Structure 1
């Protein structure tokens, strides 16, 4: 049992890490709040003074704000649906005994280690290019007209690219959860004559509920800040401008740090709303 002296020593040793972590989080947040109330144009006059809530009002009333929020939520929702559904299917497949099982698992997980910019470039030039892409050649082989993926189906294309990156993560978490399932339950259900769909719906899926909620929470946190895939492929065109990319345009392209900082605060608010909603779901599943 830890004594008061040992607990005090542990707290003292943890203090530098806690202070560093708080500074790492709080300093950018405080600076974002500070600049959001100022008119700061680095290349057009610099600091032009305080403007109060003018930046917030301008950003919120912008014609691109709500479409960017909508695009963000569509991309996040689409990626979550694809990665969870196909992640469960792949996890069930990889859990079956097969020849070369270890190699197959490594190949399935490998896309998660590819950098987002590299992944987006590969999909843009090797798969979705309407002239030389593999999908274009496949369409031509069947006598169909190649598709302009990034212009005609831009949101779907972004969702597909990001899903390819995050599917291995979901598969790995769900596969670990499946392997922790007591095989005697499945064997007993099989001996009682339960069909595969019933075994999946009444035994496997309830067992995966906690893993699914964890995947849902972690992926949402990262997907709300998606940027690299959009920058490489569409650069915010064709309805793919997310809230993160809109902030980038305001800060770097328009050189309006104050307006971009106000957008950053809105992004923080949106992320916290989504996080609170998801935490309630996760809490219910973890307490079940």
Structure 2
């Protein structure tokens, strides 16, 4: 059988799976776009009508929209900074020989397997509660006034919770990259008189650049859709202090029952997420070619 015939038969065999995948993706997207062009409110049955781009105009001119965009960017950037820097430091620590190294690695990676809703509830009730939380008891022990994290610093608190969840992922990727580094190169640099910081900045850090880029790409895609942590801790408040774009779509669709407006917000969120993903893909492509 010729190579061309083999390729044709391979395409024929995988075509059902590809068509199913395309349908699974395209049908919900098409329905979202269709609803975004309709006046469709669950509180007004029978009043559905085609209104064009009015839902988009309403969503984009919503006073909470600009706040949601800035909160989303702050959340993504804050978590990326904490996880990339913290993950690098933890990777360097876990790469050192120590007693119980396997157990320590498992404990460090464990938070990544905790469900977001569960971890957010634990942080809310056991750590950040201003009355019975651990941080409140520590503050009282030092004679200080307990700090209400979720009311006075809601977005920073959510960034901390999400960072705790994603730090193990960054640590695992960076640790794997660090262990692939040629030890003879480090030993040669040490014999030439290079100090600890010189070896880190001139040998380890360039080697970790590609792994860090992968971490940034994957985390950014997921962080743009953070929702559960906000829902169970602050509900987007106080006011809109912790409202992100994803949570604003939820408010529009399920709290205000405006399916059309929420669908328009969903389309806008998809467009923005794809812009960010394309930018990051180009960045990671250039990094891998370097």
Instruction: Give the equivalent residue in structure 2 for 1:68.
Output: 68
Cα displacement (A) at 1:281: 1.5
Instruction: Give the equivalent residue in structure 2 for 1:103.
Output: 103
Distance 1:93 1:136 in 2: 30
Instruction: Give the equivalent residue in structure 1 for 2:263.
Output: 261
Q: 1:276 is matched with which residue: 263, 273, 278?
A: 278
The size of the alignment, in residue pairs, is 288
Instruction: Give the equivalent residue in structure 1 for 2:246.
Output: 244
Equivalent residues of 1:38, 1:47 under 8 A apart: no
Give the CA RMSD over aligned residues. Answer: 1.2
Cα displacement (A) at 1:10: 1.8
Q: Deviations over 1:188-235 (max 9, x none)?
A: 001111011110000000001110000000000000010000000000
Instruction: Give the equivalent residue in structure 2 for 1:195.
Output: 195
Distance 1:162 1:28 in 2: 28
Cα displacement (A) at 1:46: 4.2
Distance 1:46 1:265 in 2: 24
Cα displacement (A) at 1:43: 2.9
Cα displacement (A) at 1:8: 2.1
Instruction: Give the equivalent residue in structure 2 for 1:144.
Output: 144
Equivalent residues of 1:38, 1:258 under 8 A apart: yes
Instruction: Confirm or deny that 1:45 pairs with 2:45.
Output: yes
Cα displacement (A) at 1:60: 0.6
Distance 1:143 1:219 in 2: 39
Equivalent residues of 1:40, 1:47 under 8 A apart: yes
Stretches of structure 2 that go unaligned for 5 or more consecutive residues are: none
SS at match of 1:99: coil
TM-score by length of 2: 0.97
SS at match of 1:41: coil
Distance 2:46 2:235 in 1: 27
Distance 2:135 2:13 in 1: 56
Instruction: Give the equivalent residue in structure 2 for 1:222.
Output: 222
Q: Which has the larger displacement, 75-84 or 10-19?
A: 10-19
**Runs of 4 or more consecutive aligned structure 1 residues displaced over 4 Å after TM superposition:** none
Equivalent residues of 1:36, 1:56 under 8 A apart: yes
Distance 1:3 1:53 in 2: 50
